[in-house]
Amino acid sequence: MSRQIVLDTETTGLEPSQGHRIIEIGCVELIERRPTGNDFHQYLQPDREIDAGAVEVHGITNEFLADKPRFEDVVQDFMDYVQDAELIIHNAPFDVGFINAELQRLQNWDSLESYCSITDTLVMARKKHPGQRNSLDALCGRYDIDNSQRQKHGALLDAEILAEVYLAMTGGQSALFLDDADGESGSGEAQQIRRLPADRPALKIVRASKEEQEQHQQCLENLEKNSGIKSQW
């Protein structure tokens, strides 16, 4: 069973080496390239001010995060969630660098790469589309993926969008959420194959009547006459 986690983070700034912290983690789980609905989403109290430029990007403020848990409070749940999965990340060094900085602060955790494998979709996109813009927004335009709700960056929303981009870029299913039986989109649940019993009643065969066969033959003759080409049926 192939388990992939599409991951994105939002942060207080650009450099973990300068003490910047993670303030949001968003993850979307795919199993056999299908969404399961078992997502992970957490806002975090960073214990430092968020850069004004970062607030302009994601819109998350210190006031909003005041009552949120710290990374150390959720690290066990998060690491259990990503354990042994393939992480799909756009510009992976950025997010992995921040996560590893958080793990290093706690001292009793190894680097993220020790627990799961990592695939960088930015590297994939640059190989597939050399010389072109390969930001997440650019890839949405290239693969006709709706990102109209992305007024500001958000970790879970960006993870959902990246999941669609990844599926489109690697072939196969290109829509993250499939339509359900009522025509509603976005259930996010993996669809199971329903196998029919071997002893089920045989399907009824409805054969064309003599009149229907004659009408079909007349239609073919008219096609041949009008096109000048011999019918292959």
Name the pTM for this structure.
0.72
For residues 93-104, give the mean pLDDT.
97
Within 8 A by CB and 6+ apart from 228, the residues are none
Which backbone phi and psi does 52 adopt, to 5 degrees?
A: -60, -40
pLDDT at 185: 40
Out of 20, 58, 90, 153, the active site residue is 153
Tens digits of residue pLDDT in 148-167 = 766 457 899 999 999 999 99
Q: Which residue has the tokens 């042994």?
A: 84
Tens digits of residue pLDDT in 16-67 = 999 999 999 999 999 999 999 999 999 999 999 999 999 988 889 999 999 9
In the DSSP assignment, the letter for residue 54 is H
pLDDT at 188: 39
CA geometry: angle at 81 spanning 194 and 42, to 5°? 110
For 189, the 3-state DSSP assignment is: coil
Within 8 A by CB and 6+ apart from 93, the residues are 120
Per-residue pLDDT band at 174 (split at 50, 70, 90) = very low
Query: Minimal CA–CA distance to 41: which of 60, 56, 54, 55?
Result: 60
Helix residue spans in the chain (DSSP H): 52-58, 62-65, 71-82, 92-106, 121-128, 136-142, 155-169, 210-227
Q: What is the C-alpha to C-alpha distance for residues 83 and 86, in angstroms, rounded to an integer?
A: 9
pLDDT at 172: 54
CA 71 to each of CA 2, 37, 102: distance values in angstroms, whole numbers, following the listed order: 28, 23, 7
Quick check: is 216 catalytic? no
For residues 73-102, give the mean pLDDT.
97
Radius of gyration of the chain (CA): 26
Contact 39, 29 (CB under 8 A): yes
Q: Which residue has the tokens 């795919």?
A: 30
